[in-house]
Chains A and B, each alone.
Chain A
Amino acid sequence: MEKKMEVYLDNAATTKPNKEIKDIVNNSFDELYANPSSLHTLGVRVEREIKEVKKIILKDLSSSDGKMIFTSGGTESNNLAIKGAVNAYKRLGKHIITTEFEHKSILNTVGSLEDEGFKVTYIKPNSNGLIELNDIISAIQKDTILVSIMFVNNEIGTLQPIKEIGKYLSTLKNKPIFHVDGVQAFMKMKINVEELNIDLFSFSAHKIHALKGLGGLYVKKGIRIKPLMFGGQQENSLRPGTENTIGIFALKNAVLDFIKNRENYYNNVKELKRAFVNSITSELSDVYINGDFSKASPYIVNIAFVGVKGEVLLHYLEMKKIYVSTGSACNSKTKSFSYVLHAINVPDKLKEGSIRFSFSKFTTKNEIKYALDEIIFRVNEYRSMMKNGKK
């Protein structure tokens, strides 16, 4: 590969916004700049636009009568879902169920509730990176008011059995609220909240080629939540503050694109991931996929390179304009390994060499080929260098 290309394989962290969004942003400078709460026509037009975006999203989630609340992002959506729900239903119980490998915006939120007297059960995933329904069943108590499980794990990409969990929860007499963190799944796969019995569903705009600073929370009809902030009447007073209108217009573009091309994107990425993993596992010895490959989102794969330090490989790749992510940073004093890999019992020597590659609709075959060559070359070089070290 002579040509210097840039290969962005950190799409689980954030994605490159769609080009069309530049024009959309321009338009909100020129025309749609008003406050949607204003009474005049300009405001009404912006408000109408926002309503339409909500409608599109709700329809895609197959909700006939649910609510859509815009927030500042995935973190706020998760905070609002969890705190909002337990504050609304704490009379009914003080027990929460979640998992050991949720995103920090879930773990630290329920952690803060533990300080307030709530009891939390953290389900341990199995070594394939999957939560087992039986563990949820045995964790349920009479006073369980909330179950929060992610759709796709952000570090290893594994798909959790949301359907089974939702189905089981719906049979309970004291049905807990079911929250799903859908940040890595939203729009990338078709999600039917009604069918999956989801009560609350979080998502984020910048993971699907829209802009940072906007997220959302789907709230099923009849489910009550308490606001985290107080102010005006926006979002039924559940999330006051002037709406991030530019972010919402940008999200519309990203959402429509996925609705139209979801299958295509999915199949392309799936093929890319398969080729990528095949290549790595056949060209290199001592590599392991973290999490069950067959039950994972095609957009994310996490690979352990034995004997390699993840962060060093990351920096070598960045020199070649290949951008990836690792959950373990080099640090002599504290072994800072990924808690997700820890939760699924990945041995230490694998943890420190684990890299997350996350793809997007923009990723091409050529990029993957270029990245593969570089990865294989560097891993081999690194391993031989470490072997030559005098012991």
Chain B
Amino acid sequence: MYNLIMVRYSEIALKGKNRSFFEKILISNIKHSLKGLENYRVLKEHGRVYVEFEPKDYEEVIVRVKKIFGIVSLSPVVRVANDMDEIYKVSLIQAKKVLENNKYKTFKIEARRGNKSFEYKSPEIARMVGGYILSNIDELNVDVHNPDFSVNVEVRNSTYVFTEKIDCFGGMPYRSAGKAMLLLSGGIDSPVAGFLMGKRGLEIEAVHYHSYPFTSERAKEKVMDLAKILSKYFGRLRIHSINILEIQKQINENCPSEEMTILSRVFMMKLAEKLAEKNSCKALVTGESLGQVASQTIEGLNVTNSSVKLPVFRPLIAMDKIEIIRVAENIGSFETSILPFEDCCTVFLPDRVVTKPKLEKIERSLSLLDVEKLIDDALENIETQIFHPEDL
């Protein structure tokens, strides 16, 4: 049973003078994810991070650390002293372990000598360890070009031996790029948008709109469930719920019916911006994807864009639905997103919606409403919750 994993990060390593800033955040995020376990330690050494833990927590540690943004891959490793006999012994055990579960025929040794005071060079280490394994296991051959598996030997202050490499999300450490407000609906897209921006290091706070009692409690629950799923990756997620029924009623009463959707979106953006300012968020994030629905045309995006001053990040803008669904399945939000509870009210939906709204026309419609008052009133009754991974 392992008690150590090696964590690799790539993009952070390219940073110059700011590198330690990113590393610090990454390490703190790893520590945060391990909360609740006993006797774990997170150590940094030569562009790698090592996590030490109790052998019984091995699987749990993998599950938790795998989700942390900024990590490219990780490997469960065995640490031994820089001594060839030790290295032989543990490499053989590791190779045998792989063969227990697989019918492999060929292997190779990948040796890296980071520690230049070690007496053998990398190719020598590879040759020696390979020879040792060959002489101890029949039926196994070396294939340096296309091996069935590799035994990695990395000589640093100690020597690390591993055979497995678990790919992770990559990206940048969460909270290393400031904070943004995500417009989170119960759909497939917005959780994915939040995930992708979080993966670039943005801290995410979310806002969700509903029109209870025109929409159901279950629709709200569904969004909260999505928020909980996102919190698995972020460590925590703060989410605000705002009831926009009064706004929709006013639009319904005073504005052309085909503008219902686009006008609702304008209000959602404006409300999100207000909230963003209150919570020191420097951008908005939406799940908009060009041409996906009537309000996500270039004209529609123009309208929603010009209703706010903050930059709007739309990570899905160029993605196909299929690609988006693949990410949603991957992060575990898809199943929840497709539950049949709608968070936007269908009651007011007209048969025909405007697909190419003209800015001046929309502004004329807005001038029929007391926009400031509607926004302030909606913000009066805001509900805020904070979710953590353990809430799932």
Q: Is the CB of B212 within 8 A of A336?
A: no
With A309-B347, A331-B340, A332-B349 already in contact, the answer to whether A390 and B212 are too (CB < 8 A) is no
Contact pattern, A 19-59, Cβ under 8 Å of B = 1, otherwise 0: 00000000000000000000000000000000000000000
Q: Does A172 contact B (CB under 8 A)?
A: no
Q: Does A316 contact B (CB under 8 A)?
A: yes
Q: Is the CB of A336 within 8 A of B349?
A: no
Q: Does A365 contact B (CB under 8 A)?
A: no
Q: Does A315 contact B (CB under 8 A)?
A: yes
Partner of B216, one of A311, A388, A391: A311
With A312-B347, A315-B212 already in contact, the answer to whether A332 and B342 are too (CB < 8 A) is yes
Q: Is the CB of A330 within 8 A of B257?
A: no
C-alpha spacing A332/B349, complex, angstroms: 8
> What distance in Å separates the Cβ of B252 from its nearest Cβ neighbour in chain A?
5
Partner of B346, one of A332, A389, A390: A332
Q: Does A263 contact B (CB under 8 A)?
A: no
Q: Is the CB of B255 within 8 A of A318?
A: no
C-alpha spacing A334/B253, complex, angstroms: 26
Q: Is the CB of B340 within 8 A of A336?
A: yes
Taking CB atoms and an 8 Å cut-off, the chain A residues in 346-391 that contact chain B are 385-386, 388-391
Contacts of B253 in A (CB 8 A): 385, 388-390
Contacts of A336 in B (CB 8 A): 340
Partner of A389, one of B213, B216, B257, B345: B257
Secondary structure type dominating chain B contacts: loop
Q: Is the CB of A334 within 8 A of B340?
A: yes
Q: Is the CB of B346 within 8 A of A331?
A: yes
Q: Is the CB of B252 within 8 A of A389?
A: yes
Contact pattern, B 337-348, Cβ under 8 Å of A = 1, otherwise 0: 000101001111
C-alpha spacing A329/B215, complex, angstroms: 10
Q: Does B169 contact A (CB under 8 A)?
A: no
Contacts of B256 in A (CB 8 A): 390
With A390-B257, A391-B257 already in contact, the answer to whether A330 and B216 are too (CB < 8 A) is yes
C-alpha spacing A309/B211, complex, angstroms: 14
> Chain B interface: which size bin?
20 to 34
Q: Does A319 contact B (CB under 8 A)?
A: yes
C-alpha spacing A237/B75, complex, angstroms: 55
Q: Is the CB of B340 within 8 A of A329?
A: yes
Q: Is the CB of A390 within 8 A of B255?
A: yes
Q: Does B249 contact A (CB under 8 A)?
A: yes
Chain B residue at smallest Cβ distance from A385: B249
Interface size of A by CB at 8 A reads 19
C-alpha spacing A12/B23, complex, angstroms: 60
Interface-centre pick from A329, A330, A332 (highest chain B CB count, 10 A): A330
Q: Is the CB of B342 within 8 A of A315?
A: no
> What distance in Å separates the Cβ of B93 from its nearest Cβ neighbour in chain A?
47
C-alpha spacing A389/B340, complex, angstroms: 26
With A390-B253, A390-B256 already in contact, the answer to whether A330 and B347 are too (CB < 8 A) is yes
With A331-B342, A332-B349, A389-B348 already in contact, the answer to whether A312 and B214 are too (CB < 8 A) is yes
C-alpha spacing A327/B232, complex, angstroms: 36
Q: Does B254 contact A (CB under 8 A)?
A: yes
Contact pattern, B 250-276, Cβ under 8 Å of A = 1, otherwise 0: 001111110000000000000000000
With A331-B340, A332-B342 already in contact, the answer to whether A390 and B254 are too (CB < 8 A) is yes
Contacts of A390 in B (CB 8 A): 252-257
C-alpha spacing A390/B263, complex, angstroms: 14
Q: Is the CB of A315 within 8 A of B340?
A: no
> What distance in Å separates the Cβ of A342 from its nearest Cβ neighbour in chain B?
18
Partner of A315, one of B214, B257, B349: B214
Q: Is the CB of A330 within 8 A of B215?
A: yes
C-alpha spacing A331/B214, complex, angstroms: 11
Contacts of A391 in B (CB 8 A): 257
Contacts of B214 in A (CB 8 A): 309, 312, 315, 330
Residues of A at the B interface (CB closer than 8 Å) are 309, 311-312, 315-316, 318-319, 329-332, 334, 336, 385-386, 388-391
Q: List 16 A-B contacts (CB under 8 A).
A: A309-B214, A309-B347, A312-B213, A312-B214, A315-B212, A315-B213, A330-B215, A330-B345, A332-B342, A385-B252, A388-B252, A388-B253, A389-B257, A389-B348, A390-B254, A391-B257
Q: Would you list the 10 A-B pairs with minimal beta carbon distance, nearest first?
A: A315-B213, A332-B346, A389-B252, A388-B253, A316-B213, A330-B346, A312-B214, A309-B347, A390-B257, A391-B257
13 new A-B pairs (CB below 8 Å) besides A315-B212, A315-B217, A329-B216? Answer: A312-B214, A315-B213, A315-B214, A315-B215, A330-B214, A330-B215, A334-B340, A385-B252, A386-B347, A388-B253, A389-B348, A390-B254, A390-B255
